[in-house]
Amino acid sequence: MGARCDVAVIGAGPAGCAAAIALKRLGVASVLLLEAGDGARPRFGESLPPDIRLILAQLGLAEAFAALGFDPCVGAASSWGEDGLGYNDFLFNPHGLGWHIDRARFDAFLRDAAVAAGAELRFDTVFDSVVMTGDAARLRVRGERGDETITAGFVLDATGRAARVARALGAERIESDRLVCAAALIRIDPDGLLGQRSLLEAVDYGWWYAARLSPDEAIVVVSTDADLLRARRLHRSDAWYGHLAATRHVAAALGTAAPPSQLMVRQARSSRLSRAADQRWRAIGDAASVYDPIMAQGVTKAMIEGLAAARDIVRHMPDAEEGLDARFADYLSLRDYFYGQEGRWPDAPFWTRRRRPQPAVRTLWEVSA
Ligand SMILES: Cc1cc2nc3c(=O)[nH]c(=O)nc-3n(C[C@H](O)[C@H](O)[C@H](O)COP(=O)(O)OP(=O)(O)OC[C@H]3O[C@@H](n4cnc5c(N)ncnc54)[C@H](O)[C@@H]3O)c2cc1C
């Protein structure tokens, strides 16, 4: 006979870990956290805003997080709508400074906290399918123990933008743009110009972003639309580096950084599910909705939704997730306002598309760029 649990959380990213920690702290007896990977895959999402302190505190993790000693982020410098740099500092933020984190270390920290709280974590365990019965969800998973059926009282889909559980239950993803990111880790001069601010620079085909992760390493990302990425060959290291060298502010801040040996290309389309919850399941984090990385809110949103889902499950209001559409509409307004601030390239496709937002498209669940 397969395993049984009160709640099965599929995906051990920030959303799944926050949910598992909160469920255990709220007294749920058995929480199974299933993760397809082995924890080693590199992930995006290194800028954390100051207000993530609130959610870390609610999960009882504020002090342990502070002890990790991540690089503080004092704010952002951006060339957006004008050629010079403007500054937006966290100096007057009531929650203090933000951080530039090592994402692999941060995710490992959350997984360890989930296990310490009492959740059972299984790596290399892939969710395949689900059948809903009257009072339980029967999950088929593949892992080190072979194929297995797990019976759960409730399932949380925290599988990121792939939304494997929601997809298996017939939900569709509704996408609002074609954004894609190509990123690299770059060695930098510890005495160079890239300080503790994130650096953002709009260009005619999208925007560049750089953030220092440690005194001698930075993450550098270009965001553009999928067709523009291909046309400019920005998925190739040589072309990517050539475009980087042509930027004004990012290139200057990175100094004589060497070309990257490896690029990571990921979809970053804004999207939401057509249906994100029911009596026995709910999608949280990127599985439910994906925000543009320009907002740097993905990790915080994922953890807030994990915590909220845990509370609703314990209060027996599992399908109370009615606010997704309204929250996503608010997010789109903010995103469009932000992109609307850039008017230097009135005829460039990347910017005209954002002034006349594209109609939402239901997708066929492609996950790679
Ligand atoms: C280029 C880029 C830059 C970004 N920058 C930032 C930033 O600066 N700040 C920020 O806050 N956010 C940023 N984000 C967004 C952020 O990375 C995500 O919002 C965040 O990781 C979402 O967390 P999650 O837990 O919902 O999903 P994920 O982190 O994607 O975790 C999902 C987990 O589910 C697992 N999984 C998938 N399928 C299965 C399966 N079938 N069975 C079992 N497990 C499965 C995966 O292995 C993974 O571990 C950025 C995103 C991109 C693309």
Average of per-residue pLDDT across 253-282: 90
160 touches 9 (CB < 8 A): no
Closest CA to 332 of 286, 276, 284, 294: 294
Q: Does this complex have an ipTM over 0.95? A: yes
User: What was the pLDDT predicted at 294?
Assistant: 93
Residue 248 has pLDDT above 80, yes or no: yes
Mean of pLDDT values over 223-246 = 96
Contact partners, residue 68, CB within 8 Å, separation at least 6? 101, 105, 106, 109
Using pLDDT thresholds of 50, 70 and 90, give the confidence band for residue 223. Answer: very high
Report the pLDDT averaged over residues 16-31.
98
161 pLDDT higher than 60: yes
Mean pLDDT of 48-76: 94
What is the percent of the chain with per-residue pLDDT over 90, rounded to a whole number? 73
Give the model's confidence band at 364: pLDDT under 50 very low, under 70 low, under 90 confident, else very high. Answer: very low
> Tell me, what's the pLDDT at 320?
58
At 301, the pLDDT band (50, 70, 90 cuts) reads very high
The two beta strands, 98-100 and 47-48, are antiparallel
Quick one: which atom of ligand 1 is closest to the CA of 287?
A: 26
User: What number is the average pLDDT over the span 283-299?
Assistant: 95
Q: How confident is the model at residue 88, as a pLDDT?
A: 87
> Which residue minimizes the CA distance to atom 31 of ligand 1?
13
Pocket test for ligand 1, best of 9, 35, 161 (most atoms within 8 A of CB): 35
Residue identifier of the C-alpha nearest atom 33 of ligand 1: 11
Mean pLDDT of the chain, nearest integer: 91
Structure tokens at 361: 């498209």
**Å from CA of 162 to ligand 1 middle:** 10
The pLDDT score that the predictor gives to residue 316 is: 81
* Cα–Cα distance measured from residue 66 to residue 75, given in angstroms and rounded to the nearest whole number: 18
Residues 194/203, Cβ–Cβ less than 8 Å: no
Give the model's pLDDT for residue 38: 87
Tell me the sheet residues that pair with 78. Answer: 86, 200
What pLDDT does 145 receive? Answer: 81
Given ligand 1 and candidates 109, 139, 299, 304, which is best to mutate, with the most ligand atoms within 8 Å of its CB?
A: 299
| Model confidence at 206: pLDDT above 80 | yes
C-beta separation of 60 from 25 below 8 A:
yes
Residue 290 has pLDDT above 80, yes or no: yes
pLDDT for position 322: 61
Measured from the Cα of 198, ligand 1's closest atom is: 8
Say whether pLDDT at 181 is over 90: yes
Sorted by sequence, the CB contacts under 8 Å of residue 268 that are 6+ apart come out as: 179, 180, 181, 223, 290, 292, 293
Q: How many residues does the chain have?
A: 369
Pocket of ligand 1 (CB under 6 A): 10-16, 34-37, 43-47, 126-127, 158-160, 162, 164, 181, 183, 221, 266, 268, 285-287, 293, 296-300, 302
Distance 304 CA to ligand 1 centre (A): 14
pLDDT category at 361 given cuts 50, 70, 90 is: low
Which ligand 1 atom is nearest residue 14's CA? Answer: 25
Domains in the chain: boundaries: 4-46+102-176+271-325
Ligand 1: nearest atom to the Cα of 286: 26
Query: Residue 367 — very low, low, confident or very high, per pLDDT cuts 50/70/90?
Result: very low
Top pLDDT among 321 and 6 is at 6
Q: How far is the CA of 151 from the centre of ligand 1 (A)?
A: 26
Pocket-testing residue among 38, 44, 223, ligand 1, by greatest number of atoms within 8 A of Cβ? 44
Give the SS3 label for residue 202: strand
pLDDT of residue 358: 61
* Å from CA of 237 to ligand 1 middle: 24
User: Are the C-beta atoms of residues 306 and 15 closer than 8 Å to each other?
Assistant: yes
Which region among 36-45, 66-75, 261-270, 286-295 has the lowest average model confidence (pLDDT)? 36-45
Which atom of ligand 1 lies nearest, measured to the CA of 15? 25
Average pLDDT over residues 150-166: 97
Judge whether residue 369 has pLDDT over 60: no
CATH no. for 4-46+102-176+271-325: 3.50.50.60
Probe residue for ligand 1, chosen from 99, 286, 301, 303 as the CB with the greatest number of ligand atoms within 8 Å: 286
List, for residues 77-125, the tens digit of each pLDDT value.
Answer: 999 999 999 998 887 788 888 998 999 999 999 999 999 999 999 999 9
pLDDT above 70 for 319: no
